[in-house]
């Protein structure tokens, strides 16, 4: 495979988000024009599952689905709340039924923002939900696409404790020293375009390039706060990493693509 021609892999998106409903064709076309050859589309809530699967069926040559339950859900009024076991119980069978189709279990993880986990019992529930999904990923031999907001160290410790094997920690906001504990386990870390306005320079400096992949997390985490992000911005992450690592953007593209294919081998079906 000629990686000069393969292009970028966006390892974490939310292209099934309502923000893309009106112009998804244009967004996908822009991604292709920018050199994106594959993008992982992650679910957050149970209601996302059919949307993610339908969208990836619509664009099978570039989009691949990830199904999982996020630690932050929404109540009937749209307000964010902590996940509960019931959120996951209702979709476990659906994840298993789509095991051949999905690229990873995700988005899963921990989110210990005080407003989401006002009491320690909420954290225990999140850990339980995460453990169930780690066990499922191991059973199905699938990677994990992991969220760890305000919970970098607890997330890595939990993943180690639960025996997680193939892990992507997306948009990691923990300390670089904590990330290096994940590196020891062989975990990968994806860097979004918001890196140009964040304080995570030291993270990119310390992470080995062999453990870095690219993401946009669109529609969030774009280069300009408040503006809708999309996969076409992946080059911004690549160029930033190249500057920090003092290597060429082409080298970053090639290495991060190799890393993504190692972590998500099902992508080879798209790229070959």
> Two tokens at 57?
């069926």
First to last CA, the chain: 8
- Whether 2 has a pLDDT exceeding 60, the answer reads no
Name the pTM for this structure: 0.96
> Domain range for residue 251?
3-271
pLDDT tens, residue by residue, 20-64: 999 999 999 999 999 999 999 999 999 999 999 999 999 999 999
- pLDDT number for residue 82: 98
Bridge partners for 196 per DSSP: none
How many residues does the structure list for the chain? 272
125-164 burial by CB neighbour count: b if 16+ within 10 A, else e?
A: bbbebbbbbbebbbeeebbbbbbbbebbbbbbbbbeebeb
Residue 1 has pLDDT above 70, yes or no: no
Q: Give the C-alpha separation, 123 to 257, whole Å.
A: 34
Q: How many domains does the chain have?
A: 1
Domain with 151 in it: what CATH number? Answer: 3.20.20.140
Q: Per residue in 207-221, pLDDT tens?
A: 999 999 999 999 999
126 in Cβ contact with 147 (< 8 Å): no
What residue spans of 107-248 are helical by DSSP H?
A: 120-140, 152-162, 176-184, 201-206, 234-245
- pLDDT tens digits for 124-155? 999 999 999 999 999 999 999 999 999 999 99
Which alpha helices (DSSP H) does 141-219 contain, by range?
Answer: 152-162, 176-184, 201-206
User: What mean pLDDT value characterizes the chain?
Assistant: 96
């Amino acid at each position: 495979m000629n990686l000069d021609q393969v292009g970028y892999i966006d390892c974490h998106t939310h292209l099934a988000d309502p923000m893309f409903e009106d112009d998804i064709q244009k967004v996908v076309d822009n991604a292709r024009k920018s050199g994106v050859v594959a993008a992982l589309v992650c679910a957050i809530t149970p209601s996302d599952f059919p949307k993610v699967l339908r969208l990836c069926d619509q664009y099978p040559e570039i989009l691949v689905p990830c199904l999982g339950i996020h630690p932050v859900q929404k109540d009937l009024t749209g307000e964010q709340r902590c996940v509960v076991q019931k959120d996951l119980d209702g979709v476990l069978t659906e994840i298993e039924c789509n095991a051949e189709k999905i690229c990873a279990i995700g988005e899963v993880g921990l989110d210990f923002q005080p407003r989401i986990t006002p009491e320690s019992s909420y954290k225990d529930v999140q850990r339980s939900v995460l453990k169930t999904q780690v066990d499922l990923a191991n059973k199905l031999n699938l990677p994990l696409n992991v969220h760890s907001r305000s919970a970098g160290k607890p997330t890595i410790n939990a993943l180690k404790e639960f025996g997680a094997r193939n892990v992507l920690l997306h948009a990691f906001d923990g300390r670089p020293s904590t990330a290096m504990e994940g590196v020891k386990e062989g975990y990968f870390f994806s860097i979004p375009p918001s890196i140009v306005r964040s304080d995570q320079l030291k993270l990119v400096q310390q992470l080995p390039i062999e453990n870095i992949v690219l993401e946009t997390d669109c529609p969030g985490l774009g280069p300009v706060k408040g503006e809708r992000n999309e996969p076409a911005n992946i080059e911004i992450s690549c160029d930033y990493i190249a500057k920090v690592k003092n290597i060429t953007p082409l080298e970053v593209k090639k290495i991060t693509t190799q890393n993504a294919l190692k972590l998500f081998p099902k992508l080879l079906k798209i790229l070959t």
